[in-house]
Chain A
Amino acid sequence: SQELEQSPQSLIVQEGKNLTINCTSSKTLYGLYWYKQKYGEGLIFLMMLQKGGEEKSHEKITAKLDEKKQQSSLHITASQPSHAGIYLCGADMRSNSGYALNFGKGTSLLVTP
């Protein structure tokens, strides 16, 4: 089955600093999704990327999909305490039996004052 590896597993950054989270797939990505989760709560949709080379931004968060490398990156500029949480990437995993959304194990982000 397709696996998604996220790095780093956890991250502590000082407020105002930039950071990048990576998501690497073992197979071709048909669609890549980024979600944020507050501890113990549901997931909040951030962005969806479908085309190779696609880049999307929302406020201070930018995500890119490098389809050739089967990799996506999430970049946060000038981090704030409100950015803290767990970031998960999800990928469209297609098989003969249908499809499912497969997730990485997440990157835990803590932003310190």
Chain B
Amino acid sequence: KAGVTQTPRYLIKTRGQQVTLSCSPISGHRSVSWYQQTPGQGLQFLFEYFSETQRNKGNFPGRFSGRQFSNSRSEMNVSTLELGDSALYLCASSPRGGLTYEQYFGPGTRLTVT
């Protein structure tokens, strides 16, 4: 099976712009979670989608949003970008959601905000 894929791998944006990141989970996986990783804060949970519904959300401002499509692919959107949004954004998929199943991570999207 193909692994989790994320596009694009690298992105440079300017403050104030918005950005959309995409994640394709492993075939058959219905849960997709998003994380932000920075040197200072480490890996932080953004939100999780399961069957097109957001099931849980981390402690991030409303500028961060996401959605999931019927084929389980997910997108994450960040509006009004700030310098502090520069980070590695990782998505992870798991078969059924919940944490009794391990999550499989994609390679990440490196976002740089200038």
Chain A interface (Cβ within 8 Å of chain B)? 1, 30-31, 33, 35, 40-45, 48, 50, 88, 90, 92, 97-106
A to B contact number (C-beta, < 8 Å): 60
Q: Whose C-beta in chain B lies nearest to the C-beta of A100?
A: B45
Name B residues whose Cβ lies closer than 8 Å to a Cβ of A.
Answer: 4, 33, 35, 42-45, 48, 55-59, 88, 90, 92, 98-100, 102-108, 110
Instruction: Please indicate the chain B residues that have their CB under 8 angstroms from the CB of A43 in the complex.
Output: 43, 90, 92, 105
Within 8 Å by CB of B102, from A33, A102, A104, lies A33
Q: A40-B110, A42-B90, A45-B104 are in contact. Are A88 and B43 (CB under 8 A)?
A: yes
Which residues of A have CB within 8 Å of B100? 31, 50
Main SS at interface, chain B:
strand
Q: Measured between C-beta atoms, what is the minimum distance from B108 to chain A in Å?
A: 5
CA distance A50 to B100 in the complex (A): 8
* A to B CB contacts below 8 Å, 11 in the list: A33-B103, A42-B4, A42-B90, A88-B42, A92-B99, A97-B57, A101-B45, A101-B99, A101-B103, A104-B42, A106-B42
